[in-house]
Structure 1
Amino acid sequence: MNIYCAHPFTREYVGQSLADADPLEPENWLIPAHAYLDPPPAPAVGQAVVRSEDGAAWQLVADYRGTVYDTITGNPQQHEDLGDLPGNLTAEPRLSPFHVWASEGWVLDSDAQSLAERVAERAWRDSCLANTDYLAMPDYPLTDAARAEVIAYRQALRDWPEGGEFPLPEHRPEPPTWLAEKTQ
């Protein structure tokens, strides 16, 4: 006789076995604890089969065991319990640092993303200005034409944050050719 076994603590279906005949009453079968005669249903992806608390029937429950994500930080963590996830966890990975959790899932916070892009581009611009400070010194040996190119480049860097294409990197001010070759 086939029997269907459940884990004694989690009640999760663990497999099928055979019941033994009772040696004192051969017409009866010995059914061990946490074993049942009714077969469990087939679970779908993301489900597990467990026996109800009262032992009366098999149930399908959500199975999110494994890596899940914190809805506040987006950090991955391991989850070991059967059933629905607590409200602070999701099975969906955070798509970027600029996504925030909402009732419909991760949504892009475009304001935060735009601010971060602007801050990063200003930092790039500031480093370009700092890296060319020595060229702007009146005693640095440059030709008048090269000095004019440096002055124009540095002014373009200063004006760039107010430009319509800021902070798109493909629209960054280009350094004079001789300076770009020197810094490569």
Structure 2
Amino acid sequence: MTFKMTNTNRTITIYNLSSATNEFIGKGDGYIPANTGLPAYSTDIAPPTTKDGFVAVFNFDSGKWSLVEDHREKVVYDIHTGESTTINQLGKLPDDVVSIAPAGYFVKWDGETWVNDPEAEKTAQTTQVIQQKESLLTLAASKIAPLQDAVDLDIATEAEAAFLLAWKKYRILLNRINPYDAPDIKWPPMPDTE
């Protein structure tokens, strides 16, 4: 039944709606003065019975209720990145999320479950070796430069000349490291500078 104004005061059952989503939030008795309409965000049409995981949402244009999936506050995981997010809107879950948390860092979604992703693990290991190698090469260069200056100016002590050779040998051994051999990397020992 659709609401009709009358020229008499009356009390009717109204169904209150959320102003944000038009979902049913409760019912009560509403006093309707003569020649006035319903209060804002309400209807006199009873909502359908809902089932778990759904809410009743009213459409003012059609004057009808529909059942809409409700996953709000549910934590889901992006199937491309594994990143978690919390659902905050009504409706179906996006196609690219699942409710199963990834187990580990190097996994991928195979359509049914998270599986180990050796390629991603190898890429991460290789990247880590590249970064460590670059850092150690920078350190070696910073140690070599002043020692080389001392040798070039013919003012190096025997210890400085020995350290220079040790650091140069270390830098050569570092350069021979192939990051794509990760995780089987044998790092050369750093020269003793004591």
- Give the number of equivalent residue pairs: 163
Distance (Å, rounded) in 2 between the aligned partners of 1:22 and 1:8: 20
User: Structure 2 matches for 1:9-20, cutoff 5 A?
Assistant: 10-13=21-24, 15-20=25-30
* Equivalent position amino acid for 1:116 in 2: T
- Closer, same or farther: CA 92–48 of 1 in aligned 2, 3 Å: same
Identity %: 17
Report the Cα offset of residue 144 of structure 1.
Answer: 1.8
Q: Which has more radius of gyration?
A: 2
The runs of at least 4 aligned residues of structure 1 exceeding 4 Å deviation read 1-4, 21-24, 37-41, 52-60, 67-80, 88-96, 98-101, 105-108, 162-165
* Equivalent position amino acid for 2:72 in 1: D
- Paired residue for 1:150? 164
Contact 2:55–2:67 (CA<8 Å) still a contact in 1?
yes
**Secondary structure of 1:148's partner?**
helix
- Closer, same or farther: CA 156–93 of 1 in aligned 2, 3 Å: farther
Report the Cα offset of residue 35 of structure 1.
Answer: 5.5
- Closer, same or farther: CA 59–73 of 1 in aligned 2, 3 Å: closer
1:136 aligns with 2:144: no
RMSD: 5.0
Distance (Å, rounded) in 2 between the aligned partners of 1:127 and 1:153: 12
Distance (Å, rounded) in 1 between the aligned partners of 2:94 and 2:47: 33
TM normalised by structure 2 equals 0.52
TM normalised by structure 1 equals 0.54
Report the Cα offset of residue 156 of structure 1.
Answer: 2.5
**Secondary structure of 1:19's partner?**
strand
Unaligned stretches of 5+ residues in structure 2: 1-11
- Closer, same or farther: CA 159–172 of 1 in aligned 2, 3 Å: closer
